[in-house]
Structure 1
Amino acid sequence: MAPHRMATPESNDGDVIQYNNISRPLTSGIYAPTPCFFLDNEELDLAAISHHAVTLARAGLAGIATQGSNGEAVHLTPAERILVTKTTRTALDAAGFSSLPIIVGCGAQSTRETIALCKDAAIARGDYVLILPPSYFNFGLRYPLESLITFFRDVADASPLPVLIYNFPAAAAGIDLSSDTLLHLAKHPNIVGTKLTDGNLGRMNRVIAGTSLLLQQQKQQQQSHPYITLAGSADFLLPSLHLGAEGGLVGLANILPKTCVALQHAWENGNTKQARFLAGVLSRADEIVQKGGIVGTKAVMQEKMGYGGFCRRPLPRLGEGIAELDLRTWMDGIQEGWSVEQSL
């Protein structure tokens, strides 16, 4: 895929910050939406953030996403969000992974704040932004479709970084962007992909086929720009790859990164039997992790990887509505996947 040009953003105090004007390309592969780690006093644990990013890079991931749901972006101040992404970039560069792209979650409830977060992401040395539709007023007011289209267009016009659209109805008050809407927005030169966590493989099929056709038409007009479609859950990674998705941006890759990568490699190499086996392993593990949410994900990471800790309050810690039985259920459910991970 061809790289994208970046505008030169302004810092919050009005100073112009200079950046490399070519972003790192998004390639086929597995991406992980990383958790944000905290010390006992709930301050950022920058050492754990750095360590985890490098661990994922060494496992063969194609890129990392900060400030997603797993990253507890809603629990962070704007300055903390910048620091998390900066820390991730610095750690990757120092470990020899300077070409690995960082996608930054920048969804907010107003167009104005979303654009501001996109500019902050550029200051933090992110490469792409991932945007959920605004949803706070959806049930009371119901956004007209044209308002949502205008939202994404306005953000893409103003963002110094290329935009990926995130369709996840469960995290957006039920807002579910249709394939027609996504293909309409895909024509924008600064909208370069989608993460689909809706589980609708029919929609994914239409988006992949439609953006492929759109790319052919743009090439004929010499106006082409790349477009990437990513599965939003390891649970349906294999069928997504079969439909033509370039990979997945999946939470389970924080715990089983090598297994996720191995599945994609097996599928790409035509090893159908191995791909199906790994897909089953990931699907069973993903069900457990999804039930536990970010609290369960961090608990599993702490138990299996030696770091992970807890979430910022009001999310509970072990013993605060989370019993040892819950933890053991999560551990038992992840054990098959963990055994496979250790074998790779």
Structure 2
Amino acid sequence: MKSVKEKLNGVISPIVTPFVDQEVGYKMLEENILKMNKTKLKGYMPLGSNGEFKSLTDEEAIKVVEVVIKNRSKDKTLIVGAGRESAKATIEFIKKINDVGEIDFASVLTPNYFPSKMNDEALIKFYTTVADNSPVPIMIYNIPKSANGVMISPKAISELSLHENIVGIKDSSKEDIANYVNAVPADSNFYVLSGSITKFLDGLKKGSIGGVLSMANYLPDLCCEIQELYNQGNYIEAEKLSSRLCKLNSKISGAGGVVAVKTAMNLLGYKGMEPRIPLLPLKDKEIEEIKMALQEEGFIE
């Protein structure tokens, strides 16, 4: 049986939810998973930001999880987004997705509807309550830009990392990732993952063990190669590849978010399809700019 570290050590793809005429394209999701099974990815994370989880009904979300469970290779780690605004609702949703089939971890976004009240005390109470009652280990999802500015502090992480059912954090904040790594006691079974390609290599240098990277939806093996090169001690090549992908990312996800990620997927043989309203499709000019960026890097002709 794999350890927590073995399950999280690598690149996780935050799976997108394809929509066609505003309905979930479950068959297209299945095709994406089957194709990604052949890559070096460590695993998948459906129902995150890239999965537009806030735009799904609970019924749709559960069916998305069913499709991923049914089609993923057994060696791929599965983290499922499960954050809700209350501890009670979060616990209930984790139990629902756990009833669908085997998942490894539940990713729990910081609650953020009452941002001024989300201090260390409140967040520690929230995550402790969820972890005490969750049937699967949980990971903390720290993304202030999408969570009303709420950011969990390294000080709170130092306490939460001691809980046996809290195993990691996906950090998509602007905080120095070293502050989270250094907050974790040496004997803790708790690990830090980078939440973007821009923090990925820096995170590895500072002690993180992997990343949940939107770019892994359309260039999965190259994202994995950064970590491979770093682990081999080939730091110059790792820096070169990281710089190349970060530059490309600034023209795709950095410029257009989830919708741009879906566009890049569509251009590179995956089924990103369209976003769900209120997100709008890119304009023709914006699609052309992404196409040109991929052409410049030799990814499409």
1:184 aligns with: 159
Residue 236 of structure 2 is aligned to residue 263 of structure 1: no
After superposition, the C-alpha distances for 1:170-220 in whole angstroms (9 at most, x for unaligned) are 01111111111111111111000011111322xx223323425243xxxxx
Residue 31 of structure 2 is aligned to residue 54 of structure 1: no
Letter of the 1:34 partner, please give it. I
Unaligned runs of 5+ in 1: 5-23, 216-225
Residue 10 of structure 2 is aligned to residue 29 of structure 1: yes
2:178 aligns with: 205
Query: Percent of counterpart pairs with the same letter?
Result: 29
RMSD: 1.9
C-alpha contact (below 8 Å) 1:65/1:105 kept by paired residues: yes
Q: Which has the higher contact order (CA 8 A, sep 6+)?
A: 2
**TM-score, scaled relative to structure 2:** 0.93
**TM-score, scaled relative to structure 1:** 0.82
After superposition, the C-alpha distances for 1:71-127 in whole angstroms (9 at most, x for unaligned) are 0111111111111111111111xxxx2131210111111122111111122123222
Select the structure of larger CA radius of gyration. 1
Taking the aligned partners of 1:241 and 1:153, their CA distance within structure 2 comes to 27
Letter of the 1:188 partner, please give it. H
C-alpha contact (below 8 Å) 1:196/1:229 kept by paired residues: yes
* Residues 337 and 177 (structure 1), Cα distance of their counterparts in 2 relative to 1, 3 Å cut: farther
Letter of the 1:31 partner, please give it. I
Letter of the 2:134 partner, please give it. S
* Residues 267 and 210 (structure 1), Cα distance of their counterparts in 2 relative to 1, 3 Å cut: same
Taking the aligned partners of 1:45 and 1:190, their CA distance within structure 2 comes to 33
1:163 aligns with: 138
Letter of the 2:68 partner, please give it. T
1:20 aligns with: none
C-alpha contact (below 8 Å) 2:110/2:151 kept by paired residues: no
State the aligned residue count: 298
Unaligned runs of 5+ in 2: none
Residue 295 of structure 2 is aligned to residue 295 of structure 1: no
Which residue of the other structure, out of 294, 298, 316, is the alignment partner of 2:280?
Answer: 316
Which residue of the other structure, out of 102, 111, 115, is the alignment partner of 1:134?
Answer: 111
2:77 aligns with: 101
Taking the aligned partners of 1:161 and 1:337, their CA distance within structure 2 comes to 41
1:124 aligns with: 100
